[in-house]
Amino acid sequence: MTLKEYKSKQELALDFSSYLAKMIATKDTFHIALSGGSTPKVIFDVLAANFQTKIDWSRVHLYWGDERCVPPSDDDSNYKMTVSHLIAKIDIPQENIHRIKGENEPSYEAERYAAVLDGHLPKVAGVPQFDLVILGLGDDGHTASIFPHEIELWHSKKYCEVANHPVSGQKRVSITGQIINQAATVAFLVTGENKADKVEEIIQKKGDFEKYPAHLVAPHFGKLLWFLDADAAAKITSTQF
Ligand code: 6PG
DSSP-derived 3-state class of residue 6: strand
Ligand 1: which residue has its CA nearest to atom 7? Answer: 36
Type and span of the H or E element at 109: helix 106-120
Nearest CA, atom 12, ligand 1: 138
Closest CA to 213 of 187, 177, 185: 177
pLDDT computed for residue 74 by the predictor:
98
Determine the distance separating the centroid of ligand 1 and the alpha carbon of 97, expressed in angstroms.
20
What was the pLDDT predicted at 238? 64
- Output the CA torsion 193→66→101→61 (10° steps): 100
| Cα–Cα distance for residue pair 89/217, rounded to 1 Å | 31
Number of C-beta neighbours around residue 129 at 10 A: 19
What is the C-alpha to C-alpha distance for residues 103 and 173, in angstroms, rounded to an integer? 11
| pLDDT at residue 240 tops 60 | no
Residue with CA nearest ligand 1 atom 2? 36
- Mean per-residue pLDDT, 48-73: 97
Looking at every residue in the chain, the average pLDDT score rounds to 97
Ligand 1 atom with the smallest distance to the CA of 40 is 15
Per DSSP, the three-state class of 211 is: helix
pLDDT tens figures, 190-231 = 999 999 999 999 999 999 999 999 999 999 999 999 999 999
User: Which of 34, 35, 76 has the most ligand 1 atoms within 8 A of CB, as the residue to mutate?
Assistant: 35
Q: What residue's CA is closest to ligand 1, atom 13? A: 37
Summary count for the chain: helices (H), strands (E): 6, 11
> Of all atoms in ligand 1, which is nearest to the CA of residue 172?
7
Ligand 1 centroid, distance to 68 Cα (angstroms) = 11
**Position 111 confidence tier, pLDDT thresholds 50, 70, 90:** very high
Q: How far apart are the first and last CA of the chain?
A: 10
**Share above pLDDT 70 across residues of the chain, in percent, rounded to a whole number:** 98
Q: Quick check: 241 pLDDT over 80?
A: no
Q: What is the mean pLDDT of residues 83-87?
A: 98
Is 236:203 a contact under the CB 8 Å cutoff? yes
Q: Which residues line ligand 1 (CB under 6 A)?
A: 35-39, 65-66, 78, 136-138, 142-145
Atom of ligand 1 nearest to the CA of 190: 15
Rg of the Cα atoms in the chain: 17
What is the 36 CA–ligand 1 centroid distance (Å)? 5
Residue nearest to atom 8 of ligand 1 (CA): 37
Distance 35 CA to ligand 1 centre (A): 7
Q: Has this prediction a pTM greater than 0.75?
A: yes
